[in-house]
Amino acid sequence: MSKRFFRVYRAACSAFAAAALVACGTASAGRHAAPAPMSDDRIFVQLREAARNNDAARAAQLASMIPDYPAPSYLEYFQIKPQLFDSSGHARLDAPDEPVLSFLKRHDGEALADRMRNDYLTVLGARHDWRNFDAQYARFVLDDDTQIKCYALESRAARGEYVADAARALLVEPRYYGDGCVDLITALAAEKQFTPEDVWQQILLAYEQNATTTGSRIADALGAARPDATRFEQATSAPPLLLANGIGADSASHELALLAITVMARNDAAAAAATFATVAPQLSLAERAIGWGTIGYQAAARQVPGAVDWFRLSANAPLSYPAYEWRTRSALLAGDWTMVRWSIEQMPTPLRGRPAWVYWHARALKQAGETAAANEEFERIASRFDFYGQLATEELGRKIEIPAKTTVTDAEVEAVAKTPGFELARRFFALNLRLEGNREWNWPLRGMTDRQLLAVAEYARRIQLYDRTVNTADRTRTEHDFSLRYLSPFRDIVERDAQTNGLDVEWAYGLIRQESRFIIDARSGVGAGGLMQLMPGTAKMVARKIGLGAVSPAELNDINTNILLGTTYLSMIYNQFDGSAVLATAGYNAGPGRPRQWQAALPRAVEGAIFAETIPFNETRDYVKNVLSNTVYYAALFEGRPQSLKARLGAILPN
């Protein structure tokens, strides 16, 4: 329910409603009345969609209709961008350079120039125009595009640099590869920086993550060493048939066998394990470990019994990041702290440094009696204001408290209110253009001090852009105001309905903060709406149970109605799970049936933190952690005393 919000900012709309939301006239009474002309704002929104679809002709037509629109840089960008990519999103090698270079020169230092530079770097990388690529890449501020990072490594390799290790560290999530990373793999293989084993590892990773088109394209990097098309097709489409024919002695046959097992495991991990047990003797010990690792991963992510045992056979194998993580989660569920420890210690350094694995490694050290070493690791993350920072704080014998409040002056708020970009951001928010609004809002925040950030957060609160309040206050490093970071608008309504339904008001706020960031008309990609992101069917069911009658879409976004229905629904789930905040929070996000299944699959009673860490759905796992972490800080704010996350997590028993 919390994915991809399409939010309408009620407060922001007050400034622009006449332009953005009012219809452009009414049809006359006559049967043949001409359709009313579109407003400039509606044309602009359509222009943006044409640019997103890379429809250059349509973009040019729409732009010509609003030549004086009060966002000229975007008017220009939306005409240039679709000239750089084809309808499938691939860079056009014949894309024009002059309009881009002119735009970059005139808008240097602006948020949109960095976006344009990102697009242009994709074109330059596809052309292998490394001289111009390097010049533009040096000025790319955000540098948050994996594909561009791949092209940057390929450029360095073209200059004779050794980049294989950097490439291996980067190439861990195939869904972000794009053309650039496939190109990098191909180039490194041609230059002998990548061995055939490196290429095969990337193929297996892509198929394991179901990025099958990418995996097939990466296979071309094998060149003459690529297996014939029939055998490759058999490995990916009919893996049991390939394995039934036995495994040849050559390395390609071994790799095809591992590919076949990878594909099989995604469909039926238990069947893949049974098949692999029969063919594993034909493979090397290292290859067997890789095979058992991918089987264990697919089994663990689907809660198939036996996952932890298959994972035990994967020690020292080079696994994918998700496989390393699920191996550790399987060990946590089994209560095997020795395995938790060695599994984390075998993770690549970037992965092992993530707060979750620092915390669980420290717990494993503590379990082994190495308290001093454990406390050193807990201290590394205890200063973080998140789920694992809170848990680490409690492991060190301290409760969770709110940091000292920094209060900014009215003069500071008035000063930051004049920041370039904020006015344009508010226009975009009024038009429900979230991506553009956030881009313009966030760009000037990069170099601000903590006090300036808090002033911006307070400014956002005053104009009722509540999600910008929270997100901006969340950026501070040493000076904080948790009354902004953990905002509590609509307090009388939330308290009334939470108390009526027997819920802690801090829990209700923790959930709303995660669901909608307090945007009244938040709308998810799957149709959930309002502050508490209720699906229409759920809202209808709850309304019927409490005698509210039919609820229209407009009523669902009404603050009173949405909070009443949301808190009632949360209370219903809470009672179904015997007062477990962990299970009820998971049920609110994923539906109550799924937590029951996850609870039923437990091999034993586990602490709430372990249950949260081992939730199979990525979204729900993060959701539960965030909601309960939020809840603890709200409780500390509302109650004015230190809190315990562990007490709220409790223990989860098999049902």
Per-residue pLDDT for 449 more than 50? yes
Per-residue pLDDT for 24 more than 90? no
Q: Tokens 């002709």 label which residue?
A: 57
Residue 515 is a catalytic residue: yes
State both tokens at 303.
């809660």
Report d(CA 499, CA 567) in Å as an integer.
9
State both tokens at 257.
């066998």
Contact, 360 vs 371, CB < 8 A? no
Instruction: Tell me the CB-side half-sphere exposure of residue 294, using CA atoms within 13 A.
Output: 29
Contact, 638 vs 595, CB < 8 A? no
Per-residue pLDDT for 33 more than 70? no
pLDDT digits (tens, 9 = 90+) for 517-559: 999 888 787 778 899 999 999 999 999 999 998 888 888 889 9
Work out the mean pLDDT of the chain and round it to a whole number.
Answer: 94
Contact, 42 vs 68, CB < 8 A? no
Handedness of CA 122, 123, 124, 125 (dihedral sign): positive
130 confidence band (pLDDT: 50, 70, 90): very high
Residues of the chain with pLDDT > 70: what percent? 95
- Of 76, 377, 395, 515, which one is the catalytic site residue? 515
Q: CA-based angle 246:250:252, to the nearest 5?
A: 85
Q: Which long-range contacts (CB under 8 A, 24 or more apart) does 419-422 make?
A: 419/444, 419/456, 420/444, 421/111, 422/459
Cβ neighbors of 80 (< 8 A, separation 6 or more) are 96, 99, 100, 103, 116
Least confident of 2-6, 211-215, 516-520: 2-6
Contact, 80 vs 99, CB < 8 A? yes
Contact, 198 vs 164, CB < 8 A? yes
Output b/e per residue, 202-219; b: 16+ Cβ within 10 A: bbbbbbbbebeebbebbb
- Cα dihedral angle (79, 83, 89, 90), rounded to 10 degrees? -160
Report d(CA 502, CA 608) in Å as an integer.
21
pLDDT of residue 25: 37
Sequence length of the chain is: 655
Closest alpha carbon to 185 in 198, 204, 166: 198
Report d(CA 381, CA 604) in Å as an integer.
29
pLDDT of residue 10: 36
Amino acid found at 208: E
Read off the pLDDT of each residue in 175-191 and give the average, rounded to a whole number.
98
State both tokens at 433.
């253009």
Per-residue pLDDT for 136 more than 80? yes
Per-residue pLDDT for 36 more than 80? no
Amino acid found at 171: L
pLDDT of residue 23: 35
Q: What is 371-412 written as a DSSP string?
A: HHHHHHHHHHHHTSSSHHHHHHHHHTT--B-PPPBP---HHH
Cβ neighbors of 97 (< 8 A, separation 6 or more) are none
The DSSP code for 246 is -
Beta bridge partners of 606: 652
Read off the pLDDT of each residue in 483-496 and give the average, rounded to a whole number.
98
Which SS3 state, helix, strand or coil, does residue 76 take? helix
Cβ neighbors of 521 (< 8 A, separation 6 or more) are 7, 8, 9, 10, 529, 530, 557
Question: If DSSP states are collapsed to H, E and C, what string results for 104-171?
Answer: HHHCCCCHHHHHHHHHHHHHHHHHCCHHHHHHHHCCCCCCCCHHHHHHHHHHHHHCCCCCHHHHHHHC
Q: Tokens 């925040």 label which residue?
A: 445
Q: CA-based angle 590:593:596, to the nearest 5?
A: 105
Read off the pLDDT of each residue in 387-399 and give the average, rounded to a whole number.
98
Q: What are phi and psi of 209, to 5 degrees?
A: -90, 10
- Cα dihedral angle (40, 41, 44, 45), rounded to 10 degrees? -150
pLDDT of residue 524: 81
pLDDT of residue 38: 86
Which SS3 state, helix, strand or coil, does residue 29 take? coil
| Burial of residue 517, with CB atoms counted within 10 A of its CB: 0-12 exposed, 13-18 middle, 19 or more buried | buried
Contact, 11 vs 463, CB < 8 A? yes
Strand (E) or helix (H) holding 38: none
Better pLDDT: 587 or 557: 587
Report d(CA 410, CA 408) in Å as an integer.
7
Report d(CA 456, CA 443) in Å as an integer.
13
Question: Cα 223 to chain center, whole Å?
Answer: 35
Report d(CA 448, CA 459) in Å as an integer.
14
Read off the pLDDT of each residue in 414-420 and give the average, rounded to a whole number.
97
Q: State the pTM of this model.
A: 0.93
Q: Which domains does the chain have, with CATH numbers?
A: 227-327 (no CATH), 491-652 (1.10.530.10)
Which SS3 state, helix, strand or coil, does residue 80 take? helix
Per-residue pLDDT for 131 more than 80? yes
Compute the chain's Rg from CA coordinates: 27
pLDDT digits (tens, 9 = 90+) for 240-277: 999 999 999 999 999 999 999 999 999 999 999 999 99
Contact, 206 vs 212, CB < 8 A? yes
CB atoms within 10 A of CB 461: 21
State both tokens at 151.
């092209």
Handedness of CA 571, 573, 574, 576 (dihedral sign): positive
Closest alpha carbon to 168 in 201, 212, 192, 216: 201
Crossing angle of helices 269-279/251-267, nearest 10°?
150
Per-residue pLDDT for 319 more than 90? yes
Strand (E) or helix (H) holding 525: none
